[in-house]
Amino acid sequence: MSRLLRRIVAILMFRIDCRKLFLVCAVLTIGSILIQISSLPYPLTEWISPPHSAIASNKHLNTAVHLDKIHSLAVLVQPETVQDATVVVSLNSSAKQNQSVVISKKEGRVSQRRRERNGVKSITPPSSPYIIKKLPRRVERYLSSLTPDEALAFAKRDIENASLSSDDDPELYAPLFRNVSTFKRSYEWMERMLKVYIYQDGHPPIFHQPYLTGIYSSEGWFMKLMEENRQFVTKDPEKAHLFYLPYSAHQLRMALYVPNSHNLRPLSIFLRDYVNMLAAKYPFWNRTHGSDHFLVACHDWGPYTLKEHEELIRNTIKALCNADASEWIFIPRKDVSLPETTIRNPKRPHRNLGGKRVSQRPILAFFAGRRHGRVRPTLLKYWGDKDDDMRIYGPLPNRVSRNMSYPQHMKSSKYCICPMGFEVNSPRIVEAIYYECVPVIIADHFVPPLSEVLNWDAFSVIVAEKDIPKLKEILLAIPLRKYLIMQANIKKLQKHFLWNAKPVRYDLFHMILHSLWSSRLNRIQIPQPSS
């Protein structure tokens, strides 16, 4: 048989022209390649050249700068128009920070089961890239010709006209939001447009030195991530929509407060003099009397250190953990309620995250903490260590903590009680979210964090201070189905309250930044089109 094959090959080699044979093989090879390419889901040209933006002829853009034409120009910014050019940004660019290495599938499954038994889960950022949608080039050129305020007016009109989007974002869960379509449109405009100028004036430790641990760490994490950011920060103040006062209220207290003096005036005078120095040195404060400036302060004393400067209180956008609407310092819709996050290890901000499944939460409600303020003594009077279903304590007793730690109590409870202390804010609210326990907020006049976009009724219970005696009755009256929905919503909410060493879309850094952006938009007047 082999001899026959050799004879056939020899005959072909001698009788067929090698050049013709090569040509036939080349044609067959090219033909097979073209057939395979035609079967691909996307044309090969899309891999090589970027898509070009296009604007229909009936949507001609007038590039002249006339604010009274913003209404007609805003028609161009529709979801289908915005999508015709995209930039893909990978969330996995920081592999060391955001990726975990799986050694073997078997070990991965075992470790995952072990984490679930312990009520701990690992958080990994989305592996798929997200898309920052770009505008048509003519719209971009038009926007670049506007002043910052004019561009904000253009964006605000488009956001107000946002309709229900068919382009759902898998990273957003609609029941968590007051209006997810409006939020999504606003967030996209922030990504495209927002520029923040950071004053370089001021010296550490009060300025430019973020404090990243403890219950006041939110202000430090925001400062760190804002000063490291390249997308939103500009070095040209003329292009800025917002101006950041980069100080730490916690560091201010540590540096200037005299222990046991009960005198905050030196802290207020220091900030007053700092703002007056900026106003004398630069034109930006005086142009708006501080209304396009913002500060981020999580310490309880943050609001009270502003009292020596009237414009700082009345005009500046304040992101405060102590968001008490009754004291007339925090102004809803203008100011931002800052989440109070407790970070114990800055290198592992997601440590101990997660909770037990519903069937492993035998405790109806849990609280442990000091007895200060007007609410906690009343809570302990009615419920302190009196009911097996209501685990309400002062500081967690040793006899209790020996068997179950504070975090394990939260992971084993259906509801976590979050009463105010001396001030309305409490780190327990975010702790409850981290441990997948439905927070029960007891603090009249408290504005919940990020409430301009989040629907807190979907994942929390708010109880009036006067109803503390009926607390158990109120919780038992919540149908099981509603509780299960709230608890499931908490799991979907977590990503919006996480600090990441490298910020990812919709995380806490971006949510706070969006709230500041939203506050700035609220103060922009949209010019009416001329008749």
pLDDT, tens digit, 9 for 90 and up, residues 97-138: 333 333 334 444 445 555 545 555 545 444 445 567 778 889
Query: Measured in whole angstroms, how far is the alpha carbon of residue 506 from the centre of its chain?
Result: 4
> Residue range 475-487: average pLDDT?
98
> Residue range 269-294: average pLDDT?
98
Cα separation, 267 vs 244, in Å, equals 19
pLDDT band at 427 (very low <50, low <70, confident <90, very high): very high
Higher pLDDT among residues 167 and 227, named by residue:
227
Q: Is the pLDDT of residue 383 over 70?
A: yes
In this predicted structure, what is the pLDDT of residue 97? 39
Cα separation, 375 vs 418, in Å, equals 10
Q: Is the pLDDT of residue 2 over 80?
A: no
Q: Could you please report the per-residue DSSP string of 184-195?
A: HHHHHHHHHH--
pLDDT, tens digit, 9 for 90 and up, residues 175-211: 999 999 999 999 999 999 999 999 999 999 999 999 9
Which residue intervals of 118-169 are DSSP H helices? 137-144, 148-160
pTM > 0.85: yes or no: no
Mean per-residue pLDDT over the chain, rounded: 83
> Residue range 23-35: average pLDDT?
67
Among 246, 243, 250, 342, smallest CA distance to 305 is for 250
pLDDT, tens digit, 9 for 90 and up, residues 226-241: 999 999 999 999 999 9
In this predicted structure, what is the pLDDT of residue 105? 40
Q: Is the pLDDT of residue 446 over 80?
A: yes
Q: Look at strands 130-133 and 196-198 and give their pairing.
A: unpaired
Q: Is the pLDDT of residue 282 over 90?
A: yes
pLDDT, tens digit, 9 for 90 and up, residues 43-97: 443 333 333 333 333 333 333 334 444 444 544 555 433 333 333 333 333 333 3
Share above pLDDT 70 across residues of the chain, in percent, rounded to a whole number: 75
In this predicted structure, what is the pLDDT of residue 525? 87
Q: What is the CATH number of domain 358-497?
A: 3.40.50.2000
In this predicted structure, what is the pLDDT of residue 150? 94
CA 107 to each of CA 353, 420, 425: distance values in angstroms, whole numbers, following the listed order:
21, 44, 42
pLDDT band at 163 (very low <50, low <70, confident <90, very high): confident
pLDDT band at 140 (very low <50, low <70, confident <90, very high): confident
Give the best-scoring range by mean pLDDT among 40-49, 345-354, 506-515: 506-515
With b for 16 or more beta-carbon neighbours within 10 A and e for fewer, the 350-382 pattern comes to: bebbbbbeeeebebbbbbbbeeebebbebbbee
In this predicted structure, what is the pLDDT of residue 44? 40
Tell me the residue ranges of DSSP E strands in 350-478. 363-368, 390-393, 413-419, 438-442, 461-462
For 264, residues 6+ apart whose C-beta sits below 8 A from its C-beta are 257, 301, 304, 305
In this predicted structure, what is the pLDDT of residue 342? 95
In this predicted structure, what is the pLDDT of residue 500? 98
> Residue range 2-16: average pLDDT?
59
In this predicted structure, what is the pLDDT of residue 119? 52
Q: Is the pLDDT of residue 24 over 80?
A: no
Sign of the alpha-carbon dihedral angle for 197, 494, 350, 376: positive
Is residue 201 classed as helix, strand or coil in its secondary structure? Answer: coil
> Residue range 453-482: average pLDDT?
98
- Each domain of the chain, given as residue ranges in start order, spans 2-48, 66-93+123-193, 196-345+510-522, 358-497
